[in-house]
Structure 1
């Protein structure tokens, strides 16, 4: 379960292009010309995302330069309801890494998960780091898509709450470095089904 959260967190950090159907993604940096993370390709399936099922993602990205640690990841998750109103989803603790609208120290979270559960085999196969720092270079999962399971069993109130997961979502993810400089910002929209 924590491995799934780790992979989901990494998916959110690494994405940077648009997909099909219910998924779209836009860069929300006002000027990304100096961004240390460049996404060249991105895809995932299935679309829409299914709770209690596997999600596969592929990407090709480049880290263009070293970044100053710590890296802070801020996630804002909102469910899009009637008439386009966006209902904020609070940061929820589930015994592992919290999820929802949360703020993370990226390196501390990755260190904890990697030392507790190991590095996912898909990351190892693709040469993706499971700990900081992220060294400059190209990262590509196109030959071995990263697979993770979206398990609702660990959610508060388990299967009851999973019935409310279906719908459209907007997630804004911003990463800043130790100098408070933008590393990445993405605005992602997607659908979930049961």
Structure 2
């Protein structure tokens, strides 16, 4: 998948559906109360262990249109300093007729994924301008605090292997040294034609 961020021409190479969904979850951290898109915290019963809380977030349009612009606004909190690496597990399902079929499962090093996916064409490792201008972290370590992304536009290009339709994605962060679940988000979205 190739994502071109507006305001600066650059490309992020992503080799498969797993990385595409992981990057979307990491970059955007978005939520909406519209039926076409929904994100939910799947750690409600384990709030003492949680390291992430999304306070408010919105996307427009409600369906993710690819290719096209996705406008995002988010307010979230990192509840504890994150100085060590975490394991990011991503499962992607696609709705086919009345069934949710598992499309892919993957596990990544969170810090390794961020270092790889934000590598610029020129070899630099700067954050995307939308995140950098808002003071949002995109590299390990992460500092405890409140963060906000004002309304920002991201240009999304649909990978050839990803079909239009309804998707459900679950992302979990686990402490690599203890195996304890530290964050879990599920996201349902519709990928639509322009």
Instruction: State TM-score, norm by structure 2.
Output: 0.78
Distance (whole Å) between structure 2 residues aligned to residue 46 and residue 133 of structure 1: 32
Which structure's residues are more often helix, by fraction? 1
Q: CA deviation at 1:40?
A: 0.8
Q: CA deviation at 1:20?
A: 1.0
Q: CA deviation at 1:121?
A: 0.3
> What are structure 2's unaligned runs of at least 5 residues?
3-10
Q: Is the 8 A contact 2:13 2:117 kept in 1?
A: no
Distance (whole Å) between structure 1 residues aligned to residue 155 and residue 21 of structure 2: 9
Q: Is the 8 A contact 2:88 2:110 kept in 1?
A: yes
Q: Is the 8 A contact 1:62 1:136 kept in 2?
A: yes
- Residues 1:113 and 2:117 aligned together: yes
Match of 2:169 in 1: 171
1:50-79 deviation per Cα after TM superposition (whole angstroms, max 9, x unaligned): 111121221111112123522111111111
Distance (whole Å) between structure 2 residues aligned to residue 16 and residue 57 of structure 1: 7
Q: Is the 8 A contact 1:70 1:107 kept in 2?
A: yes
Which structure's residues are more often strand, by fraction? 2
> What are structure 1's unaligned runs of at least 5 residues?
91-100
1:15-40 deviation per Cα after TM superposition (whole angstroms, max 9, x unaligned): 37543131122221231233111111
- Residues 1:12 and 2:25 aligned together: yes
Distance (whole Å) between structure 2 residues aligned to residue 192 and residue 182 of structure 1: 29
Q: Which of 33, 50, 73 is matched with 1:35 structurally?
A: 50
